[in-house]
Amino acid sequence: MSIDEIAARVRAGERLGCREAAQLWREAPLWLLGQLASERKRKVSGDKVYYNRNFHIEPTNLCVFNCRFCSYRRPAGDPEAWDYSLEEIEEIARSHRGEGATEVHIVGGVHPQHGFDWYVELVRRVKSVLPEAAIKAFTAIELGWMMDKAGVDYRTGLSRLRDAGMEAIPGGGAEIFDERLRAEICPEKGSTAQWLEIHRTAHRLGIKTNATILYGHVERLEHRLDHLRRLRELQDDTGGFNAFIPLKYRNFGNSMSRIGEVSVVEDMKMLAMSRLFLDNVPHIKAYWVMYGKSITELALAFGADDIDGTIEDSTKIYSMAGVEERKPRLTLGEIERMAAAAGLRAVERDTFYREIGG
Ligand code: V47
């Protein structure tokens, strides 16, 4: 098939197979990918760029796992390690009162000691301090570890967390689904099957989740497409994913640093392909903390319709992995200017993509 024929099929709303997607990736000019992805984006969200008012809580950077790409983990006793108590976490939540946050994103390392009840109590306390904010908490990897350790089945465990106030689950921990590569870059970590099962269970309980991919390391195009295919299949079954977030491997301060980082052109292709391949996931997020502000502006011309949120200098995962923005924070003015630069309109949303104000 020619690129023109594939492009015509995409425009007609036909689903891309892995083979056509690979051909598009290899042979289509960048401008065409941008055009197709933007057309698709406009069908879903018109001229809108979504953002929210949010901040992160990262309870600890101690972690039972040792992923090769991670720049964030520290061993116990290290001067750069932190391990907050429930009281300290409650205090962090309190310090953000009055900012108008509609979402608290809680993720951290997988703690060696805490039991399941500790996490339930964490959610309950943050929710009681900020009842108006939605809690989007714990990657499937953290969840799998805490529930397996406590001998709680996923349905029961997720229901208990939901009853305490956890309303959504972030997309982290997916990394790369190909089992051989996963064994290479994060050998101890929870499996692909576990990640998918926890998201499936959450969706069945009505809990919305996000999905990610970590790209730009040892994987090849076929692994990226395999990853997208597995997500598309799950989404066909459940419809529970709100957003997909391609995460570019950042190479500072981790044991895969020698690999280097992929180009911005590659980033744009990854965003466009995500938008085109994942025809059943409504939102593609260009996570500005990871790309930086100027690449995020460009991402808005390659199918992204969401940039994440104001952040309020509350996350260290990417500053420790070498991104320029050491104290990540976006003002509403900056967000509006970024959207306008791309010919789009900034729209505030909540965790569930309901529009706020306007
Ligand atoms: O799972 C860790 C990634 C993820 C590096 O759901 C790295 O709205 C690049 O998932 N280079 C956590 N990436 C972050 C995450 C996320 C972020 C923003 C929004 C949402 C959402 C989810 O960060 C990890 C891992 O894939 N990561 N180290 C690194 N050196």
> Residues 6 or more apart from 257 whose CB is under 8 A from it?
251
Phi, then psi, of 259 in degrees rounded to 5 = -70, -30
Would 357 be classed as within a structural domain?
no
Position 322 scores a pLDDT of: 83
**Distance from Cα 114 to the centre of ligand 1, integer Å:** 22
Evaluate: CB of 254 within 6 angstroms of ligand 1: yes
Question: What per-residue confidence (pLDDT) applies to 122?
Answer: 98
The pLDDT of residue 357 = 82
**Residue 321 domain-assigned?**
yes
Q: Is 212 touching ligand 1 by the criterion CB < 6 Å?
A: yes
Q: Is residue 175 part of a domain?
A: yes
* Range(s) of the domain holding residue 188: 3-348
Q: Which residues of the chain have pLDDT under 70?
A: 358
Distance set, CA 298 to CA 38, 161, 203, 332 (Å): 12, 37, 32, 18
Q: Is residue 277 part of a domain?
A: yes
Residue nearest to atom 24 of ligand 1 (CA): 172
CB 49 within 8 A of CB 307: yes
- The answer to whether residue 356 is domain-embedded is no
Q: Is 214 in the pocket of ligand 1 (CB under 6 A)?
A: yes
For atom 12 of ligand 1, the residue with the nearest CA is: 172
Domain count, the chain: 1
Predicted local confidence at residue 326, as pLDDT:
80
Is 20 a domain residue? yes
**Domain CATH number, residue 333:** 3.20.20.70
Closest CA to 313 of 326, 332, 296: 326
DSSP run (H or E) holding 106: strand 103-106
The residue to mutate among 52, 143, 212, having the most atoms of ligand 1 within 8 angstroms of its beta carbon, is 212
Give, for ligand 1, the residue of 208, 250, 317, 330 to mutate: max count of ligand atoms closer than 8 Å to Cβ: 317
Q: Does a structural domain hold residue 353?
A: no
Residue 114 lies in a domain: yes
For 80-108, how does the pLDDT look when each residue is reduced to its tens digit (9 = 90+)? 999 999 999 999 999 999 999 999 999 99
Q: What pLDDT shows up at residue 358?
A: 63
Ligand 1 close to Cβ of residue 245 (< 6 A): yes
